[in-house]
Structure 1
Amino acid sequence: MHPTLRGRSVLLCLLTGLLVLLPGLAASAHSALIGSNPQTGSTVQALPEQLELRFNEPVSDISPAMVLRRDGDTVATLRPRADGTRLLADAPGTTLPDGRYTLVWRVVSADGHPIDGVVAFTLGDGRTPAIAAPTQRTASDVSSTSRYGAYALGGLAALVLLAAVVVLVRRSRTTPTSDKDHTR
């Protein structure tokens, strides 16, 4: 292989590898839930008038509802509205019994990917323990999972790229060059 063609082949492989890696890196940029009212794992005596989810970047609401559940049963369907980095919903107008509650939500992150999660809390005097946070799926869990998947895909792409470069370098060393190639 002519030295100029070999250089172009290596450059083409490197550019292809970068194109494979870039989408995987962008996939790790999902929004993450950074706070809520009520907070996950908290005990509150009464629901706030407005339930709030706070994210690290602007979000859009894609679900027509946020669902408030008590011990797994739906007790209220709330109408959320996105406000920059916050998702807001008015609390149900009825008095709710004490117990363990979850607020189930779904939004679109700034990169266009849907994310969802759960905020678990206890309503009442605190005698009913809140659902343990590690068993709950949150936006940061979804984001972390997506991020690790993107890193794995990027690592695989880097290995394929490295293998292609090694094959090209070996092929260029074993291909004999004739004098006719240099006289053109």
Structure 2
Amino acid sequence: MPAADRLVILDRDGVINRDSDDYVKSLEEWIPYPDAVKAIARLHRAGWTVAVATNQSGIARGYYGVAVLETMHGRLRDLVREAGGEIAHIAYCPHGPGDDCNCRKPLPGLLEEIREALSLDNLEGSWMVGDSLRDLQAGEPMGCRPVLVRTGKGRRTEEKGEGLQGAMVFDDLATFVDWLLARKGKAQAGQ
């Protein structure tokens, strides 16, 4: 069973792959950041558990269906496996903003799903990595440490500056993973 302090939860669009204001509606439009895929694999090989929590309101809006989303996620899992890693769980919210669900970030429902899927008592001390304030807000009530990446909508989020107190900011997922693995390595060397 994974430990919460060895768990990294990632938003998808803008963190793992390019985001689009017109939504990522097909496998052809799902374009991963190569360094992000490698970073996920590096985390896994270093003993970390990686999960994904993603709002996918394009389903509710009728832009694509669950089968298309599962094709994108299958491709993501394949690329990460090819790089030597694994994604433990992918949680997604198919609802629109007005659907009154409990899973659409900034609500913590997707993170609760991840906690249950990984059989964790809590997510205290895990990392929540996103490119928007709502990603970080979803992790707050769960005790996640917030990380903003500047890819996707991250630069705009950083420029607004609202609600980012306590969040660490990195250029991209790979830079965060470099820092995290170096930090853990230093901590182990000091024991």
TM-score norm. by structure 1 comes to 0.29
Name whichever structure is richer in strand by fraction: 1
Report the structure number with the largest CA radius of gyration: 1
TM-score norm. by structure 2 comes to 0.28
